């Protein structure tokens, strides 16, 4: 199997409904937080234009299917337990799977666009919670989780003060290799951060957090699925979500699931 895509977000927003619609695998779905405890895994398909029409050839793909000029590329999807604030410090259930989520090549952040679910995943009246907060919250949880891993033994390195660029990159690659974060992402993030590699001991905590944030954005591309678009207030919130730094896709996973199984 090729790429692994993690479906993440706070509880009760429709992650499993989305997973089920995308994979056609039946999994528990319910209107309360922490319905999913152990991650669900399955295969979904990414639709991309196939080159066969442009080159006017008959193709015989080995690991995907070409349907009338559209290539269906299989990707493995993992649907995780919901994350709550301070998951990176061990709160809630989803934190147990952050290691697993962070091995993904890309992430789908499902939010309740109607603002009808609070930060803990409890149902509230549509429009009473701001879904933009959900985008900020997940960013923080993922970044802080990575910072925690990154900081292990960081003192040893930073105390050396001056380290060679190669040694620093080698250390970071080793530290983050288990999370499918490659050398290219690390080198690009370091360059974009503008941090001085001459005096690593002069990096502040916020320098580190900004660097990790960049590494994550480069190595784990993420889209926002603005789910529950069928509910009131969702369209208004969708317009506001365009201010987020991510690509935002409107969705009704419940409707997609109903269409997929009928």
Ligand X SMILES: Nc1nc2c(ncn2[C@@H]2O[C@H](COP(=O)(O)OP(=O)(O)OP(=O)(O)O)[C@@H](O)[C@H]2O)c(=O)[nH]1
Report what 96 binds from ligand X, Mg ion, none; CB cut-off 5-8 Å by kind: none
Most distant CA pair in the chain, distance = 63
163 Cβ contact list (under 8 Å, min separation 6): 157, 171, 197, 200
Report what 13 binds from Mg ion, ligand X, none; CB cut-off 5-8 Å by kind: ligand X
Report what 141 binds from Mg ion, ligand X, none; CB cut-off 5-8 Å by kind: none
- What is the DSSP pairing of strand 106-112 with strand 247-250? unpaired
The residue among 9 and 215 lying less far from ligand X, judged by its C-beta, is 9
Query: How many other C-beta atoms can be found within 10 angstroms of the C-beta atom of residue 199?
Result: 12
3-class SS shares of the chain: helix, strand, coil, % to 5 = 45, 20, 40
- 180 secondary structure, DSSP code: T
Task: Write out the binding residues for ligand X, residues 75-134 only, by CB under 6 A.
Answer: 81-82
Q: Are 45 and 75 in contact (CB under 8 A)?
A: yes
Report what 31 binds from Mg ion, ligand X, none; CB cut-off 5-8 Å by kind: ligand X
The residue among 93 and 190 lying less far from ligand X, judged by its C-beta, is 93
Report what 228 binds from ligand X, Mg ion, none; CB cut-off 5-8 Å by kind: ligand X
Q: Is residue 216 a contact residue for ligand X (CB under 6 A)?
A: no
**Selected range binding Mg ion among 10-18, 86-94, 122-130, 188-196, rule: CB under 5 A:** 10-18
**Binding mask of the shown chain, residues 35 to 54, with x at each position contacting ligand X by CB under 6 A:** xx------------------
| Residue of 128, 123, 100 lying closest to 40 (CA atoms) | 100
Query: Encoding tokens for residue 129?
Result: 């919670």
CA distance 24 to 259: 11
Q: How far is CA 76 from CA 6, 23, 80, 204, in A?
A: 9, 9, 13, 38
Residue located via tokens 């590329």: 73
**Selected range binding Mg ion among 7-15, 119-127, 129-137, 194-202, rule: CB under 5 A:** 7-15
The residue among 179 and 231 lying less far from ligand X, judged by its C-beta, is 231
Query: Encoding tokens for residue 60?
Result: 């015989």
**Binding mask of the shown chain, residues 23 to 62, with x at each position contacting Mg ion by CB under 5 A:** ------------xx--------------------------
CA distance 12 to 123: 8
Task: Write out the binding residues for ligand X, residues 18-37 only, by CB under 6 A.
Answer: 29-31, 33-36
CB of 100 to ligand X, least distance (A): 15
Q: Report CA 197 to chain centroid distance, whole Å.
A: 29
Q: Contact positions toward ligand X, by CB under 6 A?
A: 11-17, 29-31, 33-36, 81-82, 227-228, 230-231, 252-254
């Amino acid at each position: 199997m090729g790429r692994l895509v993690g479906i993440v977000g706070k509880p009760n927003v429709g992650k499993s409904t989305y997973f089920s619609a995308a994979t056609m695998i039946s999994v528990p779905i319910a209107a309360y937080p922490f319905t999913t405890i152990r991650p669900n895994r399955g295969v979904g398909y990414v639709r991309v234009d196939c080159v066969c029409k442009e080159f006017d050839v008959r193709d015989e793909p080995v690991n995907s299917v070409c349907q009338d000029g559209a290539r269906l590329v299989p990707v493995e999807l993992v649907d995780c337990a919901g994350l709550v604030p301070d998951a990176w410090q061990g709160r809630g259930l989803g934190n147990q799977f952050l290691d697993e989520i962070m091995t993904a090549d890309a992430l789908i952040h499902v939010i309740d666009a109607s603002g009808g679910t609070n930060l803990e995943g409890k149902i509230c009246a549509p429009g009473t919670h701001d879904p933009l907060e959900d985008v900020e919250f997940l960013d923080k949880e993922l970044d802080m989780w990575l910072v925690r891993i990154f900081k292990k033994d960081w003192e040893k390195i930073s105390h050396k003060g001056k380290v060679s660029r190669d040694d620093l990159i080698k250390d970071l690659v080793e530290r983050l290799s288990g999370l499918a974060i490659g050398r290219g992402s690390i080198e690009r993030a370091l360059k974009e951060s503008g941090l001085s590699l001459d005096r690593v001991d002069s990096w502040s905590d916020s320098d580190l957090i900004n660097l990790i944030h960049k590494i994550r954005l480069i190595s784990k591309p993420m889209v926002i699925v603005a789910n529950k678009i069928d509910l009131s207030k969702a369209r208004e919130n969708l317009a506001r979500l365009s201010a987020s730094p991510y690509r935002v896709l409107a969705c009704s996973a419940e409707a997609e699931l109903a269409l997929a199984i009928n």
